[in-house]
Amino acid sequence: MDNPLIIANWKMKLAPSEAHVLAKKVAKSSAKFTGAEVVVCPSFTELAAVAGIMEGSGVTVGAQNCFWEEQGAFTGEVSASQLAAHGVGTVIVGHSERRAHLGESSDMVHRKIRMLLSVGLRPVLCVGESFDDRAEGQKEVVLLRQLHDALGGLWLTDAQQLVVAYEPVWVIGSGQDVDPKEIEHTHQVIEQSLYDLFSREAVDEHVKIIYGGSVDPENVGRYVAEPSVDGVLVGTASLDATQFAAIVAGALKA
Ligand code: PGA
């Protein structure tokens, strides 16, 4: 496997001062991150400060969202190039919380990904089934639809990178472990679908598939040890610098 990719999603959980303290602790641990790619995603308001704190640490800064137009009368929105100007290289798109609470549709997700790719940023497309989808045997149908809606009609040029984060919605924030074999199987289904959308070569060279949902220091090693799991997207456990460093260590050991 390439270097595992570990993305911290701080959501809207930290006051500015808390984000700065956490960023300093993460930067301090970063000497132990060699061999992993670590990205932290604070709120928009903290991007510049956290990017400054991370300078020289090897940890990069990502955003939790962006808008799909380049510029214009879009009150309250933030463009991909504004993010790039703050040193952001990676942007989470279509997180289930945005799909649920902000009405983020597949079409919006698609447009955001197209914009991000066009300005050379790396989208992290989140896909995942709900508890009911899974109970009704619809998990794969839902995932394939989300992938096709988000990525259909796009292609990846040499300089472009894409991350797909498989996050079962029923696991996010639940503290639940998932059988690593089930995760591996799902990642293989996602990979196959990506092969159909792009080429096998493009996927192998430009796409990573990571797992998210209650990832912690204890389960990360089992997840990342699976061959199709290229890394993890971490919410709750990324808010504690010690736990987060233990997650990076666990992923490196796997
Ligand atoms: P969690 O969140 O680690 O708290 O489950 C993951 C996410 O929502 O990206």
Residue range 117-144, pLDDT digits in tens = 999 999 999 999 999 999 999 999 999 9
Residue range 10-41, pLDDT digits in tens = 999 999 999 999 999 999 999 999 999 999 99
CB of 234 closer than 6 angstroms to any ligand 1 atom: yes
Percent above pLDDT 90 for the chain: 99
pLDDT of the residue at 184: 98
Residue range 147-182, pLDDT digits in tens = 999 999 999 998 999 999 999 999 999 999 999 999
62 three-class SS: strand
Is residue 220 over pLDDT 90?
yes
CA distance 151 to 145: 10
CB of 92 closer than 6 angstroms to any ligand 1 atom: no
CB of 51 closer than 6 angstroms to any ligand 1 atom: no
Question: In a mutational test of the pocket of ligand 1, which residue from 219, 233, 247 has the highest number of ligand atoms less than 8 Å from its CB?
Answer: 233
**Can you tell me the mean pLDDT for 103-108?**
96
Question: In a mutational test of the pocket of ligand 1, which residue from 91, 236, 243 has the highest number of ligand atoms less than 8 Å from its CB?
Answer: 236
Contact in structure between 132 and 168 (CB atoms under 8 Å)? no
Cα angle 245-127-98, degrees, rounded to a multiple of 5: 85
Percent above pLDDT 70 for the chain: 100
CB of 236 closer than 6 angstroms to any ligand 1 atom: yes
What's the pLDDT band for 215 if we cut at 50, 70, 90?
Answer: very high
Residue range 88-101, pLDDT digits in tens = 999 999 999 999 99
CB of 127 closer than 6 angstroms to any ligand 1 atom: no
Q: What is the mean pLDDT of the chain?
A: 97
Q: Catalytic annotation on 218? A: no
pLDDT of the residue at 1: 66
Residue range 185-210, pLDDT digits in tens = 999 999 999 999 999 999 999 999 99
Is residue 75 over pLDDT 70?
yes
CA distance 175 to 2: 27
- The answer to whether the pTM exceeds 0.75 is yes
Is residue 47 over pLDDT 70?
yes
CA distance 101 to 105: 11
In 149-251 the beta strands, taken as DSSP E runs, fall at 162-166, 207-212, 231-234
Is residue 106 over pLDDT 80?
yes
* First-to-last C-alpha distance (Å) of the chain: 10
pLDDT of the residue at 2: 84
- List Cα–Cα distances, 89 to 47, 68, 120, 126, in angstroms: 12, 16, 8, 17
Contact in structure between 124 and 91 (CB atoms under 8 Å)? yes
